[in-house]
Amino acid sequence: MTLEIITADSLAPVRHGFFTRRGGASSGVFAGLNCGVGSSDQSEIVAINRARVAEAMEAPPDALVGVHQVHSADVVEITETVPDQRPRADAMVTQTPGMVLGVLTADCQPVLFADEAAGVVGAAHAGWRGARDGVLEATVDAMIRLGAKREDIVAIIGPSISQRAYEVGPEFFEDFMADDSRNARFFAGGVDDRMMFDLPGYGLHRLREAGVTAEWTRHCTYSDPDRFYSYRRATHAMEADYGRLISAIRL
């Protein structure tokens, strides 16, 4: 099966893609294009999947780089491939042609950034914690340090868990309200004391407040098991592990 790649017109002509799970070599709970090196899937199969992604990005396998994601606001600049090294961070930026920045998600927001005129791109993994701590703004700032202009940066949020599937507890809601009472707009009532959180809406807000053009592809990872992996769906199904989607961008 060929790979399925979601793209955004506003990032063109920069090569990029939010890859679905279709077209990979993994099986079982990982069936499809599992690119998670930290999953319990067979490492050889994950390597095959990642090589297919690199090929789709018109790059050799070793040009596809990533980070050891830790739900932080840390950003690293990528200038070259360092085999077997993944710095602890949740976002990357580069102005080096040919480097493919890849982030892994399974409900969290994959965000791809580009200032095509300046020749600077970025990629971020933004769950609720990273987004709240400022990983999106930190990525924008890192791009500006490389020569990007805030008003020329486009950021696209890829497939993420949507509000209708993201139930949270009262403490979660209270923490966001302590940050800013206007965050109430990102919550809807759920069952009993539960709330439904709009993660992509919150991400769009943070990006637009940072002064960049931002969109969401409007794909829900939880609600479409044929196309997307989902940590929360796997947890609800009491599965032992789950696949990781990859989103990538290059100059």
CATH of the domain at 24: 3.60.140.10
Residue 142 forms part of a structural domain: yes
| pLDDT for res 1 | 67
Q: State whether residue 17 is helix, strand or coil.
A: strand
Sign of CA dihedral 22, 56, 87, 112: negative
CA distances from 66 to 35, 85, 95 (A): 11, 9, 15
pLDDT exceeds cutoff 80 at 191: yes
User: Which among 156, 89, 78 is positioned nearest to 116, based on CA atoms?
Assistant: 156
| Structural tokens at position 229 | 């992996």
Residue 182 forms part of a structural domain: no
Domain count, the chain: 1
Domain that holds residue 78: 5-162+198-250
Mean pLDDT over all residues of the chain?
A: 97
Residue 184 forms part of a structural domain: no
Q: Tell me the pLDDT tens digit for each residue of 82-100.
A: 766 789 999 999 999 999 9
Residue 174 forms part of a structural domain: no
- The pTM score is 0.97
pLDDT exceeds cutoff 70 at 160: yes
Q: What are the strands, taking DSSP E only, across the chain?
A: 5-6, 15-19, 64-65, 75-77, 91-94, 100-105, 109-115, 120-126, 154-157, 167-168, 187-189, 195-197, 213-216, 245-250
Residue 134 forms part of a structural domain: yes
